Homo-oligomer: A and B are copies of this chain.
Amino acid sequence: MKKKLFWSCIALALGAGCALTAVAQVKPDVLVGQRQAVMKLQGKYFGPLVGMLKGTVPYNAEIVQRNALYLDVLDKMPWDGFVESTKGEANTWALPAVYDEPAKFKQAQEQLQSAVSQLVTVSKGGDEAAVKAAIGNVGKACGNCHDNFRKK
């Protein structure tokens, strides 16, 4: 029975498009789907913080702290999926600049990771203004990368 459960899980994990081998061997559409999954979840957890900054969502220090920690993991996930083999995929919003300007793309990733790390640190304190400034910097890092590497 345990065996059965375990193997059914494996089959399901495979169905979900997991990478059993090196990223280079994963199908391009799977890689794009995984990248987009990360972006979607970054939206889920960053969206409310933007709302708090704009005043459309009540400020909640605990949610900021939790979401910052989630974002600090999510912002490490999409990048290995941006490989040349995905260039021709129909559903990707990535611009050719991702592959043509790898150093600049890497810098944009690091800007995001650094801004999120800063938000994690600041969110542990009780300074709401500082937290909101840090949220703003994460937003700028999102915007910087999207403006240069994502279709409008």
Contact = CB atoms under 8 A, between A and B. Distances in A.
A5 interface: yes
A117 to B, nearest CB: 15
A5 B144 contact: yes
A13 B140 contact: no
19 contacts: A5-B143, A5-B144, A6-B136, A7-B143, A8-B143, A8-B146, A9-B142, A12-B142, A13-B42, A14-B47, A18-B43, A18-B47, A19-B44, A20-B57, A21-B48, A34-B40, A34-B44, A37-B37, A70-B73
Give the interface SS of chain A, mostly helix, strand, loop or mixed. Answer: helix
Contacts of A20: 47-48, 50-51, 56-57
